Amino acid sequence: MSLTARIIVSFGLIALVGFAFLLNPVLDRVERQYLEATEEPMVDIAEILAALLSSSESENTLVPEFWKQGMNRVDNRQLEAQIYNLMKDQVLMDFYVTDASGIVLYDSGEVAPVGSDFSVFNDVYLTLKGQYGARATKLDDSDQTSTILYVGAPVVRGEKIVGTVSVYKPQGSLLAFVIETKRWLVILSAIALALVMLLGWLLSRWVTRPLGELTEYAAAVAAGDRPTPLKLPGHHMRVLSETTEAMRVALEDRKYVESYVQSMTHEMKSPVAGIRGAAELLYEEMPDEQRIQFLGNIETETARLQNLIDKLLALSSLENRSELGAPTRISLNALARQVADQHRSSALKKELEIDLLNTSEETVVGESFLLETAIGNALQNAIEFSPKNGRIQIEIARDKKNVLLTVTDEGPGIPDYALDRIYDRFYSLPRPGRDRKSSGLGLCFVKEAVALHRGTLAIQNRTDSKGVIATIRLPR
């Protein structure tokens, strides 16, 4: 599991536990809050009704007849009250009246039959004793919504409690509000959780982005590329990136020295052996013509060694650089034309044609000498592998982000076994018509010079015919 996924999962688990810990008690509290909010106005109504009955002039009964008639009209009234999302179409609150003994005298609903003894219920029992009386009674033990809420108030005439009034309301009438509130709480919690997860994802991306860049950098180093040194934010990440860069340089230097010592030893064996052999033979008596031939061999092998050393020094200097020195704007068309003119004499010896194809003026930023040398090496390679009377094309084009310079020849192509090794130092293929190979450093120089310009070099066989196409891709 990636670090980003670990952070998101951890963030999600923490958020889920937090919301579950918070949401469960809140949802449980919702129903209680509605019950408390309902009981408070029921107390007011019970007290008002009790006060009205206490002031009634009827001495024969606690409930005047016109009250009963009025409650009958209430049941027959048409009601359409839009309370937010709830349409209320009937009155769901009733009351019953008892005498001083708790015997039901009147019920506007259907829960207290007249003549029943309700003195055992808290709303009546406590009220008759002068205390606050209330209760919640479930009509059906198997139905949670069958609970009815009761609130009592005393009917007082003079200083004597002569009866009670109990207002009652089914708890099921509150269910719609409870369900709606819980639904909205769950929806808001889900939205909040989604926002928290999004924040966790953004946070994880922010935290892991430098690590991702460091991973890409390490992968590029492992692949043998030369990535741009990282500049990561934060003290610890900056120290890590600088340490990684220093480690890369140290490892490359060690590998560089080991590789170069081995490769140079191998490459210099042949010319040194030739010089030594010729020098030993010169101590002997020999004709002047033969002496001149051996001196020529010494001069040739010495020049070969000098050329090898010069190229090694140039490549070593290039590989130790991490950025361009003094980059300028360069016309790639003019530079390619200049390189082509410099190599026309070599091309004429093999009766080759060099065609420069360019449709538009392209400009890049870089060091003119390095790019000139890189293009020159690629062109020299094409000349050496091209057959007599062949044709070499240099073409400049562009894509969305890069300028492409291609050098195409009509040579024999690259064998499959050598495709992955042509960029290796000192690796070289035999030139057509020549026994001796080149130094094997030309393409290394081209690749390093192009990489220093943040570009790429690609060399592959042509698919349309024989030959090789070398593509130098540079940022526009």
Q: Provide the CATH number for the domain around residue 374.
A: 3.30.565.10
In a domain, 396, yes or no: yes
With a cut of 60, say whether residue 36 has pLDDT above it: yes
Q: How far apart are CA 240 and CA 248, in angstroms?
A: 12
pLDDT at 268: 64
Residue 378 lies in a domain: yes
Distance in angstroms (rounded) separating the CA atoms of residues 193 and 179: 21
Residues 19 and 162 reside in one and the same domain: yes
* Across 157-161, 172-176, 184-188, 401-405, least confident range: 172-176
Q: How confident is the model at residue 26 (pLDDT cuts 50, 70, 90)?
A: confident
CA dist 256 and 247 (Å) reads 14
Residue 218 lies inside a defined structural domain of this protein: no
Is the domain of 262 the same as that of 407? no
Look up residue 29 and give its amino acid.
R
Least confident piece of the model among 16-30, 88-102, 174-188, 235-249? 235-249
303-332 burial, b at 16+ Cβ within 10 Å, e below that, comes to ebbeebeebbebbeebbeeeeeeeeeebeb
Nearest CA to 465 out of 403, 391, 406 is that of 391
Is residue 205 domain-resident?
Answer: no
The reply to whether 248 and 353 lie within a common domain is no
How many other C-beta atoms can be found within 10 angstroms of the C-beta atom of residue 407?
Answer: 27
pLDDT at 92 exceeding the cut of 60: yes
CATH of the domain at 100: 3.30.450.20
In a domain? residue 467: yes
Q: For residue 125, what pLDDT is reported?
A: 95
pLDDT at 418: 73
Tell me, what's the pLDDT at 133?
Answer: 94
Phi, psi values for residue 96, rounded to 5°:
-130, 160
pLDDT reported for residue 25: 78
pLDDT at 424: 73
Q: Tell me the average pLDDT across 239-253.
A: 65
CB atoms within 10 A of CB 78: 6
Number of Cβ within a 10 Å radius of residue 166? 30
According to the model, what pLDDT value does residue 308 have? Answer: 65
Interval 445-459 mean pLDDT: 82
252 and 400 together in one domain: no
196: in domain: no
Mean pLDDT (whole number) for 368-381: 82
More confident residue, 156 or 211: 156
122 shares a domain with 18: yes
Determine the structural domain holding residue 465 and report its residue range: 328-475
At 365, phi and psi to the nearest 5?
-110, 125
Q: What is the pLDDT of residue 257?
A: 46
Residue where a domain stops, chosen among 153, 179, 205: 179
CATH number where 286 lies: 1.10.287.130
Domain boundary pick from 300, 319, 338: 319
Same domain, 297 and 430: no
Q: 465 and 402, same structural domain? A: yes
The model scores a pTM over 0.85: no
First-to-last alpha carbon distance for the chain, in angstroms, is 38
Task: Please report which confidence band the pLDDT of residue 387 belongs to, taking 50, 70 and 90 as the band edges.
Answer: confident
- How far apart, in whole angstroms, are the C-alpha atoms of residue 21 and residue 13? 12
For residue 312, what pLDDT band results from cuts at 50, 70 and 90? Answer: low
| 114 shares its domain with 251 | no
User: Of 103 and 24, which is predicted with more confidence?
Assistant: 103
One domain, residues 341 and 251: no
Q: Which of 319, 345, 376 is the last residue of a domain?
A: 319
Whole-number pLDDT of residue 204: 77
Q: Give the distance, in angstroms, between the CA of residue 408 and the centroid of all CA atoms in the same chain.
A: 41
Please count the structural domains in the chain: 3
Per-residue pLDDT tens for 96-119? 999 999 999 999 988 899 999 999
Mean pLDDT of the 163-173 span: 89
Question: In the predicted model, is pLDDT for residue 200 greater than 50?
Answer: yes
Looking at the structure, tell me whether residues 30 and 169 fall in a common domain: yes
Residues 54 and 158 in one domain: yes
Residue 223 lies in a domain: no
Residues 303 and 352 in one domain: no
Rounded Cα distance, 331 and 315, in Å:
24
Cβ–Cβ under 8 Å, residues 342 and 312: no
Does residue 137 belong to any structural domain of this protein?
A: yes
Rounded average pLDDT over 376-403? 86
Poorest-confidence range of 64-68, 177-181, 197-201? Answer: 177-181
